[in-house]
Amino acid sequence: MTSFDPASLLVPRTRSADEGPIIRMAQKSRDLRAKGIDVVSMTVGEPDFDTPLNIQEAATAAMQAGFTHYSPVMGIPELRAALSKKLKSENGLDYGPNEICVANGAKQAICNAILSIIDAGDEVIMLAPFWVSYEITVRFAGGTPVVLHAGVEENYKVPARRIAEAITPKTKLLIVNSPSNPTGAVWTRAELEEIAALVTSHPRMMVLADEIYEYIVFDGEMTSIGALPGMRERTITVNGFSKGFAMTGWRLGYSCAVEPIAKAMGRMQGTLSAGANQFVQRAGVAALEGPRDEVERMRLRYKARRDMVLKGLRAIAGVRIGNIPATFYAFPDVSSLLGKKAGNHVMDSTDTLCDWLLDEHAVATVPGGAFGAPGSIRLSFACSEAEIEKAMARLQKALGQLA
Ligand SMILES: Cc1ncc(COP(=O)(O)O)c(C=O)c1O
């Protein structure tokens, strides 16, 4: 028999699909916890709250009423109608039910969009720091990411002037994630208007707007770029239930775009996975049309936690952080701590720093490289106030001893 290595069959795509650092740090914290170490994990972007009861009850009732079969690929009419109404009244986005595609999570909606629009050689402008998955998915489709970076001094928002310089005839897509994971930045209406002017003056460029953190805004107001003049045809807006309604495990997201694009996205989804779970979609209708007090209660808790994290981080010399107007992430710039030492241990990168923080101080964070910003680290404050307090004390002690 000839020797055979199954792994030798794997194609390069499998290597680009790697959300490595977040999963690695989350796993490492679980391993340490299993050994009895009291680790505080600020790694994963997942609400620590349970899904509001009215939504759970709607799912149970729908399941018991027999909604356990395949769904139409693009979603049940009730949810698409409710989403059309929501997008119009809350976001000023004017899309009919036929222009909406319900997906198995916003992540799938993003995948549907990129696979529908991007081909080999197409350029996608991404504003770093960005959410890990965008770059992976663009590479997956054969596209070329064009990464522009903005640090804390620009409030993590690349100005339109620099975006204009990066646009070429090959540019096809610009990804805008406002509010942003990992920085919490929110683009103002004026900033989005400047971006929209660039997009509408290009012959074949669109925006992928990811608005999944829209209900977790503390300061200012979020604007949907797709609602700006001339942007309806130019925008694919993606959103989902995971963050605002604490529904991560349910896998429910959606997109809106003009019909030919929405339909193509539906075909991608039909091939990859089919329609979202029917009783989950019915729960989605309950989430949209039911009371929002739980959503507001969670937002206020995140706001209080945001204040704790900002206070804690600002007390550490060498850590630079701007305001966090939205989301449950902090993305401090720790580049001035790189090269410093703890004993013989040299912090030569944020990867080393995060490993050291976890191994020696039992705080799990994520190095910024995967978000396109290797001088920063990401902390998720979707964890309890007691854990945040503990984490801040540990970080102050750990980072304060670097010399
Ligand atoms: C910016 C952003 N978009 C999309 C998603 C994916 O959300 P979903 O759970 O709906 O797939 C996440 C999840 O972390 C995210 O942070």
Question: Which of 136, 186, 210, 242 has the most ligand 1 atoms within 8 A of CB, as the residue to mutate?
Answer: 242
Cα-based torsion angle of the residue sequence 128, 86, 74, 262 in order, rounded to the nearest 10 degrees: -60
Please give the full DSSP string across 201-229, using - where no structure is assigned.
TSTT-EEEEE-TTTT-B-SS----GGGST
Alpha helices in 45-159 (DSSP H): 53-64, 77-91, 106-117, 132-140
Whether residue 335 sits in one domain with residue 232: no
Give me the pLDDT at residue 312, please.
97
- In the reported structure, the alpha carbon of residue 107 is separated from the centroid of ligand 1 by a whole-number distance in angstroms of 6
Asked if 25 and 58 sit in the same domain, the reply is: no
Q: How far is the CA of 347 from the centre of ligand 1 (A)?
A: 31
Read off φ and ψ for residue 21, nearest 5 degrees. -60, -40
Does residue 134 form part of some domain? yes
Pocket of ligand 1, candidates 243, 328, 366, 371: which has the most ligand atoms within 8 Å of its Cβ, to mutate? Answer: 243
Q: Are residues 102 and 159 in the same domain?
A: yes
Distance between CA atoms of residues 139 and 133, nearest Å = 10
At residue 102, the 3 state secondary structure works out as strand
pLDDT at site 17: 67
DSSP string spanning 304-342? HHHHHHHHHHHTSTT-B-----BSSEE--B-GGGTT-EE
Pocket test for ligand 1, best of 114, 133, 239 (most atoms within 8 A of CB): 133
Nearest atom, ligand 1, residue 108 CA: 11
Atom of ligand 1 minimally distant from the CA of 240: 10
> What gap in Å lies between CA 192 and CA 21, rounded to an integer?
31
User: Does one domain contain both 178 and 312?
Assistant: no
Question: 242 with 274, same domain?
Answer: yes
Q: Give the span between the Cα atoms of 228 and 197, in whole angstroms.
A: 10
Which of 289, 322, 356 delimits the end of a domain? 289
Structure tokens that stand for 41 in this block:
């994990």
Is 74 inside any structural domain?
yes
* Atom 1 in ligand 1: residue holding the nearest Cα: 181
In this structure, are 157 and 113 located in the same domain?
yes
Residue nearest to atom 7 of ligand 1 (CA): 106
- Ligand 1 contact via 248 beta carbon (within 6 Å): yes
276 Cβ closer than 6 Å to some ligand 1 atom: no
When divided into structural domains, the chain yields a total of 2
Distance from Cα 1 to the centre of ligand 1, integer Å: 46
Any domain includes 331: yes
Q: How far is the CA of 400 from the centre of ligand 1 (A)?
A: 33
Q: Which atom of ligand 1 is nearest to the CA of 253?
A: 10
Helix (H, G, I), strand (E, B) or coil at 282: helix
Within a domain: 269:
yes
- Is the CB–ligand 1 distance for residue 353 below 6 Å? no
State if residue 177 touches ligand 1 by the CB under 6 angstroms criterion. yes
Atom of ligand 1 nearest to the CA of 109: 11
Q: Do residues 37 and 161 share a domain?
A: no
Give yes or no for residue 180 CB within 6 A of ligand 1. Answer: no
Distance separating alpha carbons of residues 188 and 263, to the nearest angstrom: 31
How many whole angstroms from 252 Cα to the centroid of ligand 1? 10
Q: How far is the CA of 115 from the centre of ligand 1 (A)?
A: 17
35 CA to centre of ligand 1 in angstroms: 31
Does 118 lie in the same domain as 27? Answer: no
Ligand 1 pocket, 107 CB below 6 A?
yes
SS3 helix, strand, coil % of the chain, rounded to 5? 45, 15, 40
Q: Are 253 and 269 in contact (CB under 8 A)?
A: no
- The CATH number of whichever domain residue 312 belongs to comes to 3.90.1150.10
Backbone angles phi, psi at 157, to 5 degrees: -120, 120
Q: At what angle do helices 293-314 and 385-400 cross, to 10 degrees?
A: 20
Q: What is the pLDDT of residue 12?
A: 82
Separation of alpha carbons 393 and 389, rounded Å: 6
212 Cβ closer than 6 Å to some ligand 1 atom: yes
| pLDDT value for 26 | 85
Element (H, E) at 172: strand 171-176
Minimal CA–CA distance to 199: which of 171, 222, 162?
171
| Same-domain check for residues 185 and 59 | yes
DSSP label of 403: -
Beta partners for residue 341, in sequence order: 346
**Interatomic CA distance for residues 277 and 3, integer angstroms:** 43
Which residue reads 């310089």 in tokens? 165
Q: Is residue 328 part of a domain?
A: yes
Which of 178, 212, 250 to mutate to test ligand 1, by most ligand atoms within 8 A of the CB atom?
212
Kindly state whether residue 1 falls inside one of the protein's structural domains.
no
365 lines ligand 1 (CB under 6 A): no
**pLDDT of 19:** 67
CB of 378 closer than 6 A to ligand 1?
no
Residues of the chain with pLDDT under 50: none
Asked whether residue 106 is domain-assigned, the answer is yes
The residue range of the domain holding 389 is 6-50+294-400
Domain closes at, from 259, 289, 319? 289
pTM, two decimal places: 0.96
> Which residue(s) pair with 366 in the sheet?
378
In a shared domain, residues 385 and 374: yes
Is 129's C-beta closer than 6 angstroms to any atom of ligand 1? no
Asked if 318 and 180 sit in the same domain, the reply is no
Looking at the fold, whether 231 and 298 belong to one and the same domain comes out as no
Question: Where is the domain boundary, 269, 289, 309?
Answer: 289
User: What is the predicted pLDDT for the residue at 13?
Assistant: 81
Give the C-alpha separation, 46 to 249, whole Å. Answer: 9
Residue 273: inside a domain: yes
- How do residues 117-137 score in pLDDT, each as one tens digit? 999 999 999 999 999 899 999
Q: Is the CB of 106 under 6 A from ligand 1?
A: yes
Domain containing residue 159: CATH number: 3.40.640.10
